[in-house]
Structures are given as structure tokens and as C-alpha cells.
Amino acid sequence: MALNQKMVWVAGEALIDLVPLNGEVKAIVGGGPANTAKALAKLGVEVSFIGGISSDSYGAAIREELDLVDLSLAVECELPTALAEVSLDSSGSASYKFTLEGTATFDFHTSWLPKGSPDVLHIGTLATLVEPGASELYSWAKGLNSVIVFDPNVRSSVLSDAGKYREIFESWALISKIVKMSEEDLHFLGYSGGEEVLELGPELVVVTRGADGMDGITSEGLVSVTLDLVGAYHDVRIHWGDGEISMLSGRGETGGGRLNHTYFVSQRKNFTVKLVNKQKESASGLLCADSQRLNISVTPANEVTEVFVPDVFTPNGDGANDFFFVEMPKPLQFDITILDAKQRTVFRSNDYLSKWSGMCSENECKEDTYRVILAYKYSGDVEWKYIRKQIKLIR
């Protein structure tokens, strides 16, 4: 099932940023979850926003801004909209002063939060922090049968106590399958790396590093990357940085496209993804090429320096060491062949999780020394890697 056919809910805040622009203060719809819902809708994902929206004029602006988002699961009330007064320093970096308490924005309560479970719930930023709504939201979310994507989007101006912030963060990370956070979030919360966050239980931790790209960290050393292309393009060629290339034809039309790619690594590896877009100029009719690069670092939680191949196994039915198998993170390609003393193949498989029971066809193989030939490749490997080893079968 494609992503845009799945049920996606985004829960959190839609508030108003009061931003100084050209000597005036401009009201702009903001809030991490609201921006996430808006972006997903623009990508063609059917997404519902779950949050409080005031009946005041700011609430009307929020509804207008989220015109592509399903708001049937949001609640409207007469409480005011939460505000964030934005100050910009000389470098353009923003700081915030929030008005949050007693607002419609954070009026979460299990009495109105929707029943059922979406395929994906995206949640985060201030809604997981501001009480009493945050506790109501947590009680509701942990009861869902959904993939929870959590983005803390740390706001230290709201809670400056890093220890307390970390305690709240970890409670959400424990019920989430995916955690996305910035390098700044990591440092404020006191983590040395995303590997520490992975130990809390998520299957994937994504750490964004600004212009330096992002890290994808999993226990399997496997990360799938999805690129969504929005706007007019003619032909796009994506060089994934591991030798693989994908093509997407847009025929010059304005619209969206999606490409997926999976990296398999046993140790930390960096990949530079290059996108080359050919677009036809309306005036001349000529095709012009433009390119962009994205740096991706894929890090398994448990890096391996070598693949473990046992020296001996004892298939005698006692429940201990009855099977021969290789221990390694999931590779991109895999092949294992086991030969007897006469160089006859007694076992072969392309599945890295396969196990040899010590059988030769329908009969038990005799006690002897056997030869293992193991070949494998990870993303970015140009050549196959080989391990050749003698193993003993003892009954």
C-alpha cells in the first residue's frame, strides 16, 4: 500500500508566530505539527490534523492555512489561540516568547481525541510538553495501534530544565517506532549520539544535521530513504551514492513524484545523493539541467568489524548449537555455500538468516570437516567480500 493510501494523523499544535518584518509585526501560522500536516498534504498524503483550533480570528487564519488538511478531527473552542512572539538576532536566528496556558491550542483531552488507530501518527513539539494537555495526549497515544513518529523539536525557552525535558522526551521515545530530532536537540538533552536514543526502543532514529545532511540509525544497519519531488520537472536522475541510479520522468508537468531506496551497512557509511533535474524552459523550449546534493550518513547501532562464522556445530538434537548460521547485519546481497570433503555442495542459500541443520539431502551428514564459502555486499561496496572457512560437524 502506498503512503498516500494510508491513514496518517498529525497531532499537536497549530499556533500563531508574531514575526517582526519590515518594521511591522506579521501574524504567521506556525507550530511544528501544523507545518508537518501542511507539508504532507502538499505531497498528496491524505492527512488529518488533531489539535485545538480557536474560534478567534487567528483560528480562522489557521483553518485557511491548513485548507488541504482534513480538520474534521480537530476541536474548535472559544479559548484563545496560542502565540509565539518571535525575535530575530543579527544572524537571523529566532528566539521565542510563548503565550500557551489557557489556550485552545493545547486543550487536549481524551474526551474528544479520536477513537480508532491510524497507520501512522506524527506527534511532537510543544504539545508533548505543555500540561495538562500533554498528559492527556500521552495517555491517548500510547493506546493506539499505530506507527508513532515523534519529533521533540526542542523549545528550551518553554522548559529550560534539560533533565526534566529529557525525562519527558524519553517517555515519548519509549512508545515511538521512529524518532526524528536535530543535532541541537540531541545536545540539549544530553545525548552523545542517536545510538543512545535507539536504546530506548525506537526502530529508527533520524538525526538532522543542517547542511551536513542527516544520520539514519537502526539496529539492523538498514535505512530506507524516500525522496518526494514537488514542482515542475522533466527528467530527474538520482545518484544514490552507492552505485545505484534511479530515474523519474515528469514530462515537464507540475506534480509530485516519489522514489525509495534502501541502504544496507554493517558500519557507519556516508553517502552523497545527487539529484539532476532536467526542466524545459517555457520561452526557449530548451532543456536545462540543475543539480542538488544531500549528504546521508547511515549508522547501525551495533557496528561490526567482522562477520561471525562459527568453527563448529553439533546437530545432535539436544537444543544447543543444533544449527550452523552466520551472524551479521542484513547485507545488500548474500550467498553461502557449504561443501563436503569431496567438494560436493551440501547446503546453499541467498538468505542471510538461513540455518543449516547438518542434513545432506534427506540424510544426516556425517561427522567431518566442511568448507564454508561466504560472499556478501553492503551498500557502497564495489566488490563482493568473501570469507572461506573450515567448520567441524560433531554429533
Q: Annotate 17-63 with DSSP letters as a single string.
A: EEEEETTEEEEEEE-HHHHHHHHHHHTT--EEEESEEESSHHHHHHH
Give a yes or no: residue 305 inside a domain.
no
Whether 204 and 250 map to the same domain: the answer is no
Give a yes or no: residue 87 inside a domain.
yes
Mean local confidence (pLDDT), 48-57: 97
Q: How confident is the prediction for the chain on average, in pLDDT?
A: 86
- Least confident range from 24-28, 139-143, 224-228: namely 224-228
Q: Which of 270, 269, 272 is nearest to 329 (CA)?
A: 269
* pLDDT attached to residue 391: 94
pLDDT score of 4 more than 50: no
Whether 155 and 240 map to the same domain: the answer is no
Q: Which domain CATH number covers 158?
A: 3.40.1190.20
Whether 206 and 329 map to the same domain: the answer is no
* pLDDT attached to residue 215: 79
Residues 33 and 39: their CA atoms lie apart, in Å, by 10
pLDDT score of 37 more than 90: yes
Give a yes or no: residue 307 inside a domain.
no
* pLDDT attached to residue 286: 54
199-203 long-range contacts, CB within 8 A, separation 24+? 199/301, 200/170, 200/173, 200/174, 201/173, 201/174, 201/176, 202/150, 202/173, 202/176, 202/177, 202/178, 203/177, 203/178
What are 120-133's pLDDT values in tens digits?
999 999 999 999 99
Range of the domain at 253: 222-300
* pLDDT attached to residue 1: 38
Whether 106 and 13 map to the same domain: the answer is yes
Domain end: 300, 328, 355, which one? 300
- pTM score above 0.75: no
- Sequence-separated (6 or more) residues with CB below 8 Å from residue 49: 9, 10, 11, 14, 33, 34, 37, 66, 69, 70, 71, 73, 74
Contact 322, 313 (CB under 8 A): yes
Give a yes or no: residue 251 inside a domain.
yes
Whether 320 and 264 map to the same domain: the answer is no
Whether 25 and 169 map to the same domain: the answer is yes
What are 252-310's pLDDT values in tens digits?
454 556 677 888 777 777 788 887 776 655 555 555 566 777 777 777 766 666 688 99
Domain end: 244, 266, 300, which one? 300
Confidence of residue 234 (pLDDT cuts 50, 70, 90): low
* pLDDT attached to residue 254: 45
Whether 319 and 295 map to the same domain: the answer is no
Domain end: 254, 271, 300, which one? 300
Whether 52 and 68 map to the same domain: the answer is yes
Residue with the bigger pLDDT between 276 and 25: it is 25
Q: Which domain CATH number covers 348?
A: 2.60.40
Q: Which of 188, 84, 72 is nearest to 130 (CA)?
A: 84
With a pLDDT cut of 90, the percent of the chain lying above it is 54
Strand order from edge to edge, sheet including 94-99: 24-30, 15-21, 83-88, 94-99
Whether 105 and 247 map to the same domain: the answer is no
